[in-house]
Structure 1
């Protein structure tokens, strides 16, 4: 259990059954909060609340200069006359301190009052444990000025020394719009390299997981899908529970089964080997049964593909829907044996949605339909959303087209899609796929704001919501001086036709360079001249590459001109989120333009001209790496070193190789890159003897 240093209060036997006298009717004095202000936190508060209090104590130290003393009960009247901060929800004194009639679960209040001894008091309490956690973090955000994203956006709070709270201060929050709200941490290439687990037993360190859980709770979320391919008994899930979060799974981890290292690929068939899957599901469910869990049911193939990749004999949509339906029914049966009242979702990812739309997939009673988007923010329900359903969304996506290093999803689209579901009362579940979180704070923050409370957003048009989102983010992160112009730059970025009409992001523009470099190399080395259709496509796209090079150059130069007016302590993050993003796209499009010129020069028989364009492409692409290094400052040195899903290093190698081939030079030595998930998941390999668990059951 988490321990907070406290000063124990010696109480009489009568005081052990604590009873608060009636509050005075005199006006409450204003509170002046300082480093000497005392916290009152009952030792009976659950560990998750105690952990949140510890975070608030850290905030207190940063803003007010000293860690507050923590008492386990209110002090005797004669021993203390200063202000007190009451945190938690279980202690008996909250019944008299707040007298709050909470509107529902996870609701909370932050208020100034006086306690029964006449001491000025600040009360942060909630309807339940998570309500109390949100109240504690609201204190930090509302009164101390702590940004929930402070760690991820390099925004430590400013030292103030004292904070005054008016005597009539009172704010209420809740209940939330969506019942379940949280993150899916997916495609963990940056985090796994940047913050490795010293014991090599988690996809990245537990300290990084703890930062993520803290962020979710500060954003008033309550749910986590802890990784792409975790085993059900990995420590990250246990830590999430101890933090007060609900564990959940994504579409490939049905019933908690991690299929990445499935030990017998030849038996990956629920038709031929149902007993094998049911045994594995039973073990995984047993590992998770004591945690608060939103269970995911479904059936996909290995490596996140449709199951018929492993079972090609199942050919018709009707047969495929029937197999998935049988698997889901069995999973639900097994889950209900250990958690009869469990909340269960079916995440209709890709083929699942198609089969459901076509009437081939049927779900057991009590299973919540969760609609997925296409990876770029467009939810694939075809307008068929109905009450009680939910959303699986993306602000980052690895699919060879979308984004891993930069923002992509238009906030207006987020508003349109989420509010469409909210109006339909499809608010049971919302999880947003953030990949490694740090590149997408704007859009992820907006998603979580809507998931918590969309009341102020529902009446806005999509354009107004987007305008407000961009301006608000610009002000909060970079100050009033640059916010109006920066919001315009963000708007032009998010409305770039390549990003929004073609639905392409950093992955897409880099993949294009990869494809053209390989086209040139094969042409020279293997004498594989592209067909005319391919050459015509390159020619038609050249103007688009040139237009976007100019567009992003303009945006970059305008953003650079704002840099001197950005507050000094926000310039590092400005470099990361604004300048490096714009420079990356500028250089990537310039690379594509040079490679397209090289292809067309080869088609005209002008090899010398092609060589010049290819060499320029190498130089332009190398400038992407320079831009990324500028965004790596303490404490984020080496952040991009683990990048594998945009394929920057292999693409650079392909461009250098094609340039060498054109010039008749020796090709560069082959690169040894363990791409994709194998490098990320290799920490699990020593434990595969325990499949489908990480550890032998006796060690749990």
Structure 2
């Protein structure tokens, strides 16, 4: 059962109205407001169809219809005569006392023209959007993740709202709160299936009071039409969300689009060389992208930085790049200042918001003091969690208290070694990261973004981050998770399931002891590390290279042992092989226990609660158990293979079986609207990995 929160007793929800022959008879106190949903409920608003707020009004209309079975009518504010729901924007509408504060909002009851009304009011347009979704969640009972979990309400004839309804939400602690769908191998094909898939993830973000989407594309032009913003960027903007771009696409001008730009937009036959000596051409490239975004009137946080044609340092692309890190830092610093000047010139707005992202090489250069950023009060110094294992990097650790505006980029997933099919970092680790950064500035954190890949696997963590960024000081993960479980699984199961979530995250193998105080589970072995380890072991088994430290670093690693972070001594071992055997055995035992408890809880749930529990916790627990037992068997096969080929063959077969069971656990959770979700995976293709394992015994 889904339960409706009482929001600290600020309101009461009564389903106590009988409808007989069109006459509403209420058994509640006269001071309470009966919202007559049958045929003549009205939403009053001044917004128009071209405004983002109108999308939220339509969502409210849809929510009302879902809950009551009756469609609400939308009318202008001037038509207020009967009781209804009044949507007010403090900047635009003058019927009530204006709210003060960025995105503040208020849900309450009052009289307008001597008629009792439910008021949904925001200090600005997004505040009003949030007021609408606050009402939908707290009064109508529509959970923010309704689309992701295929939620269906029990139909109600009418809803009566207490006259004590008074939910006032002050402005958020963190001004810009972003989600970043990245590595979208499953998400992108799913979005192409229908309009709802394409758009409703943006509504889901707004229901969680997220206000920014980090996104990137090959270029800001579409079909080589000059100055046309891409469909995805226009869609995000149409929902009233702030746009910002990725660290490899400052100004949304990735150098991957260099050739397309010159041939498609500039119509030149000879593409200029991508070289530091062609700085005027680089500036022309940037100018086009800035003008495209500016002409579209998109609300932007402008990312300024300098990287390669891809997710690499600029010296991987620019052949005339200097060799020393100090000189490279000077080039980046110069380019960042040039980008800032161009944005200020083109927009003509001295108050535009900038953001510089200290990712990978820029983080290293920042830690060494080789980056000189513009002295701009509107620049966000956006620090990034360490790569592969997500904790504050060295530049954050070295940072003294500053007056700069700080931002933080936290990964719930990571393309090459992190979580992909099963959430691994967890909300406690997220909270620890942000609490580590917060004291580094005399100002509140100004910007937050969480990278969650395909989104579906990380919806609980995304909800936790959104909640923390709105109310940073009072947020506590344990309390959040209990509330989350109460909302999605029912009050009677909330405590047990919230403890199961904690046990699930603690079951992950920690291949290395923590070396940074205050960070929960600093090093963990996520599912993509299992994938890399399995493929790495298959390679050495087939090559008959029986080195007890067989797993090698990824190409291009800047820090030794970062790919796997396996420290044998921390696992009671002298080499990688025995460390893997010990670590995966311990993790498998833990996940097996959680699987049993999850199965028991699962059998006591029903409907969307049951499906969501299977998707978000039970399925991942079964999957991670399968990964651990598969890798354990394969590593044992590797260890035994030099002396006992028969035993090796048997262990490899068992490794294949366990991975097949892990795949089965995932595929069984493909509930609507995600019926074919995992068939799109290209980053961790389970079928391909299973077939690779089968080649060992051929």
Tell me whether the two structures share a fold, i.e. TM-score over 0.5. Answer: yes
**Partner in structure 2 of residue 281 of structure 1:** 286
Give the deviation of 1:396 after TM superposition: 2.9
**Which stretch of the first structure deviates more once superposed, 535-544 or 118-127?**
535-544
Q: How does 1:272-351 map onto structure 2 within 5 Å?
A: 272-289=277-294, 290-311=297-318, 313-339=321-347, 340=349, 341-351=351-361
- Trace 1:254-265 onto structure 2 (pairs within 5 A): 254-263=250-259
SS at match of 1:534: coil
Q: Does residue 484 of structure 1 match 2:473? A: no
Structure 2: how far apart are the matches of 1:247 and 1:43?
22
Task: Describe the superposition over 1:308-359 as per-residue Cα deviations: whole angstroms up to 9, x where unpaired.
Answer: 2223652211011011111111111111112233111101111111111211
SS across alignment from 1:315: coil
Range with bigger deviation, 41-50 or 264-273: 264-273
**Shift in Å at residue 506 of structure 1?**
1.3
SS for the counterpart of 1:382 is: helix
In the TM superposition, residue 564 of structure 1 has moved relative to its aligned partner by 2.0
Aligned residues: 606
Partner of 1:599: 638
Q: 1:83 to 1:641 in 2, by over 3 A?
A: same
Matches within 5 A, 1:140-289: 140-196=136-192, 207-227=196-216, 229=218, 231=220, 233-263=229-259, 269-289=274-294
Distance of 1:582 and 1:176 partners within structure 2: 34
Quote the offset at 1:655 in angstroms.
0.6
C-alpha deviation, 1:630, in angstroms: 0.6
Report the Cα offset of residue 161 of structure 1.
Answer: 2.2
How far is 1:533 from its partner?
4.1
Of 607, 618, 638, the match for 2:676: 638
SS in structure 2 at match of 1:252: coil
1:474: which partner in 2? 485
Measure, in 2, the Cα distance between the counterparts of 1:406 and 1:227. 24
Structure 2 distance, partners of 1:533, 1:564, is: 43
**1:346-384: per-residue Cα shift (whole Å, max 9, x none)?**
011111111112110011121321111125442321152
> Does the CA-based 8 Å contact 2:182-2:453 persist in structure 1?
yes
Superposed displacement of residue 613, structure 1: 0.9
CA distance 1:647–1:396, change in 2 (3 Å): farther
Residue 598 of structure 2 is aligned to residue 583 of structure 1: no
Alignment of 1:515-530 (within 5 A): 515-523=536-544, 529-530=545-546
| C-alpha deviation, 1:129, in angstroms | 1.1
CA drift of 1:659 comes to 2.3
Secondary structure of the equivalent of 2:237? helix
Q: Residue 393 and residue 647 in structure 1: after superposition, are their counterparts in 2 closer, same or farther (change >3 A)?
A: farther
Q: In the aligned structure 1, how far is the partner of 2:368 from the partner of 2:195?
A: 43
C-alpha contact 1:185 1:227 (8 A) present in aligned 2: no
| Alpha-carbon distance change, 610 to 130 in structure 1, aligned in 2, over 3 angstroms | same
Determine whether 1:550 maps to 2:556: no
Residue of 31, 34, 43 corresponding to 1:32:
34
| Structure 2: unaligned runs, 5 residues or longer | 1-28, 222-228, 263-270, 511-520, 552-574
1:59 matched residue in structure 2: 63
Q: Which moved more, 1:223-232 or 1:288-297?
A: 223-232
Q: 1:46-195 alignment to 2 at 5 Å?
A: 47-75=51-79, 80=81, 82-89=82-89, 94-96=93-95, 98-100=96-98, 102-116=99-113, 118-195=114-191
1:442 CA drift (Å) = 1.3
1:365 corresponds in structure 2 to 375
> Are the equivalent residues in 2 in contact too, given 1:44–1:90 (CA < 8 A)?
no
Cα 1:226/1:207, change in 2 over 3 Å? farther
| Partner in structure 2 of residue 428 of structure 1 | 446
Contact 1:474/1:482, CA 8 A, preserved across alignment: yes
- Give the TM-score normalised by the residue count of structure 2: 0.82
Shift in alpha-carbon separation, 1:583–1:229, aligned structure 2, 3 A: farther
Distance 1:503 1:275, change over 3 A: farther
Name 1:623's counterpart in structure 2.
661
Contact 1:400 1:646 in 2 (8 A): no
Q: Is the CA contact (8 Å cut-off) linking 1:396 and 1:407 kept in structure 2? A: yes
Residues 442 and 334 (structure 1), Cα distance of their counterparts in 2 relative to 1, 3 Å cut: same
Provide, for residues 390-436 of structure 1, a one-character-per-residue CA deviation record: whole Å limited to 9, x for no partner. Answer: 33433432342211112122322222222344454242211221211
Trace 1:494-513 onto structure 2 (pairs within 5 A): 494-496=505-507, 498=509, 500-513=521-534
| TM-score (structure 1 length as normaliser) | 0.82
Instruction: Provide the rounded CA distance (Å) in 1 between the counterparts of 2:597 and 2:488.
Output: 18
Q: CA deviation at 1:470?
A: 2.9
C-alpha displacement of 1:449: 0.8
Contact 2:591 2:624 (8 Å CA) reproduced = yes
Paired with 1:644 and 1:148, the residues of 2 have a C-alpha distance of: 29
What's the offset of the Cα at 1:186? 0.8
In 1, the alpha carbon distance for the partners of 2:233 and 2:452 equals 17
Q: Which runs of 4+ in 1 moved over 6 A?
A: 264-268
Q: Confirm or deny that 1:454 pairs with 2:457.
A: no
Q: 2:570 maps to what in 1?
A: none
- 2:138 and 2:688 map into 1 onto residues whose CA distance is 46
2:417/2:532 contact within 8 Å kept:
yes
- Structure 1 pair 374–157 and aligned structure 2 pair: CA distance change class (3 A): farther
Distance 2:677 2:155 in 1: 28
Whether 1:656 and 2:656 are equivalent positions in the alignment is no
Distance 2:47 2:478 in 1: 46
Contact 2:103-2:124 within 8 A present in 1 as well: yes
| 3-state SS, counterpart of residue 309 of structure 2 | coil
Structure 1 unaligned regions, length at least 5: 1-26, 198-204, 458-464, 524-528, 661-700
More displaced, 255-264 or 441-450? 255-264
For residues 32 and 549 of structure 2, what CA distance do their matches in structure 1 show?
75
Distance 1:531 1:505, change over 3 A: closer
